Every structure is written in C-alpha cells, then in structure tokens.
Chain A
C-alpha cells in the first residue's frame, strides 16, 4: 500500500511569486485535506477535496486554491506569496468524506518565503 507522497520536499520563493505543491493520496483514498503548519504550532486546516470537489475550507484567503484530479491526487496553489506563508504544508488523505476516519499524512513541503 503506497502512502501519501508530497513534492517538492523543500521550496524557496520570494514575496509576490506563485507556488504549486503536489500530493498523491494513499491508495484507496478519495479525500484529500491540506494543512498549514507554522513553526512551533499545530497544523491549520486550509481546505478539503472529495471526489474532485471542494468540500470545506478553513480561514484562508482566496489566493490559496486547490484542485483534485480523477486519480484523487491534489494540488495546492498559493498566489501573491507573503512572508507569513512560510510554513510546512501537509497533505492528508482518507476514505470517504473523513467521517470518523483517521487521516494519513505525507511528510510535507517546507516552503520558505524570502
């Protein structure tokens, strides 16, 4: 069983640029959630995709957007990068809409904004 994989592992960008992060969900999982984890903090929910549709969004501005593909892999796009966007971005997959299901996390993409 293949786990959740994320790419790239590290990324350095400058303010104002745009970035795309990628996630392959675990085999058999059709729901992908994205989280932002600032240094020393717990993860914060960005949004969730279920069968290619957005299925809930946290308190993040519209410049954070996403996609889910027919194979249930997903992308997180961030436009107009700000210094505060520096964080570890985590992708998690689960079965169904996540009702009472544990989430399986990738190792994340470390994004640094200069």
Chain B
C-alpha cells in the first residue's frame, strides 16, 4: 500500500518556470527522500531530509518538510527539458523499518522547451 498522496499527479510547464510538487504521508517518519525516474529507467536519489530538518537545498532543488502536517514539497527552480520525469517521495519510518521505503504514487513532470 502507498504511504500517501502526491499532488499534482501531473504537471506541465515551460522551460525556465519553477515546478512545485507536494507529498503527504500518514505515519511518523525518520526521514523523507525524493527520487526521480525517467521513463523505463530506475530511480535516481535527489535529496534526503531528516525529520528534525525543515528545509534542504541541493542545486536547483529545494525541499521542505512539515512534520506537524505530515507533508513535504519539492521545488525545482528554472526547469529544463531534461527535468522531464516522474518524481516520487518516499518515507523511511526508521526503527526496525530503517531503509524500507514507502513511496507515493508520483508526479509526472513535463517541461516543454
């Protein structure tokens, strides 16, 4: 079963615009991770944010985490056509469940040149 919802399910933007994807989850977590998946390929790790962190940056990526609302967002600034992919959030509950990720259903991002 999926941990939560991702919103929107699909997002279509022009190159240069910003893209924001949201993720909600249901149970307490140790950390939350974002992954990218190009069509027919494996997942590529983008960023990991721990439950005691509120914001994290990596290049053009900015992730926020609100544990009180059980939600996270991924912002991609100045999007490029190469950013076209599916994006997934994944939660790690920690404890005996360390490393056993629970994924959302993903957001399909299309960036038009």
Interface residues of A (CB under 8 A from B): 4, 31, 33, 35, 40-45, 48, 55-56, 58-59, 90, 92, 94, 97-108, 110
Note all chain A residues with C-beta closer than 8 A to B43: 43, 90, 92, 103, 105
- CA distance in complex: A90, B31 (Å): 21
Interface residues of B (CB under 8 A from A): 1-2, 30-31, 33, 35, 40-45, 48, 50, 88, 90, 92, 94, 96-106
Note all chain B residues with C-beta closer than 8 A to A102: 33, 45, 48
Given contacts A31-B99, A110-B40, 20 further A-B contacts (CB under 8 A): A42-B2, A42-B88, A42-B90, A42-B103, A42-B105, A42-B106, A43-B43, A43-B88, A45-B101, A56-B99, A58-B100, A90-B43, A94-B99, A97-B98, A98-B92, A98-B100, A99-B98, A100-B48, A100-B92, A105-B35
Task: Pick from B44, B99, B105, B106: contact of A48, CB below 8 A.
Answer: B99
Q: A42-B88, A100-B50 are in contact. Are A105 and B44 (CB under 8 A)?
A: yes
Q: How far is the CB of B99 from the nearest CB of chain A, in Å?
A: 2
- CA distance in complex: A108, B1 (Å): 20
Q: A105-B43, A107-B41 are in contact. Are A42 and B100 (CB under 8 A)?
A: no
- CA distance in complex: A42, B40 (Å): 13
Q: How far is the CB of A21 from the nearest CB of chain B, in Å?
A: 13
Q: How far is the CB of B69 from the nearest CB of chain A, in Å?
A: 20
- CA distance in complex: A55, B30 (Å): 18
Q: How far is the CB of A67 from the nearest CB of chain B, in Å?
A: 18
User: Does A59 contact B100, Cβ atoms closer than 8 Å?
Assistant: no
- CA distance in complex: A105, B44 (Å): 7
Residue contacts A-B, CB under 8 angstroms, 15 given: A31-B99, A41-B105, A42-B104, A42-B105, A44-B1, A44-B2, A44-B103, A45-B102, A58-B100, A90-B43, A98-B98, A99-B99, A103-B33, A104-B45, A105-B45
